[in-house]
Amino acid sequence: MDENEKKIIVTQAEISALKKLIMYVKFSCDDVESLEYAGSYAINSFFDKLIAIDYLGDFERKFYDIPNPDNEIAVTNKINKYQHDSLNKMSDETMREVFKQCLHPFKPR
């Protein structure tokens, strides 16, 4: 095990709670400051690990392969609000990457 890796024991209830929290930050929270967390590589990696150990397993992975237009709209609206309110505008390339990371684990259409 790498010195940066840590092991913890979590219950299924804790796994479910953490997944719900991450999904809330990504798709339900309107605060543009949440983009920092919604698009975080570390949080996305942790979410993937939660899916891997969740009792729903393969079913859940297949679910996330289905495009979710409502979540795409929520992420787009949050990014657009950030762009409107911010003095620092993102490039088109950066916006595409932020969109992709914020939409994770869903696949864009």
> What is the torsion angle, in degrees rounded to the nearest 10, for the CA atoms of residue 58, residue 60, residue 66 and residue 70?
180
Q: Which pLDDT band holds residue 4 (cuts at 50, 70, 90)?
A: confident
Average pLDDT over residues 48-58: 92
What dihedral angle (degrees, nearest 10) is formed by the CA atoms of 87, 88, 94, 98?
-60
Mean pLDDT of 92-108: 94
108 located within any domain: no
99 is a domain residue: yes
Distance in angstroms between the alpha carbons of the first and the last residue of the chain = 37
Average pLDDT score, the chain: 93
How many Å is the maximal CA-CA distance in the chain?
A: 44
For residue 109, being part of any structural domain is answered with no
Rounded to whole angstroms, how far apart are CA atoms 38 and 98? Answer: 9
What is the reported pLDDT for 87? 85
Classify residue 104 by its DSSP letter.
T
- For residue range 6-35, what is the model confidence (pLDDT) as tens digits? 899 999 999 999 999 999 999 999 999 999
Domain that holds residue 70: 12-103
Query: For residue 1, is it within any domain?
Result: no
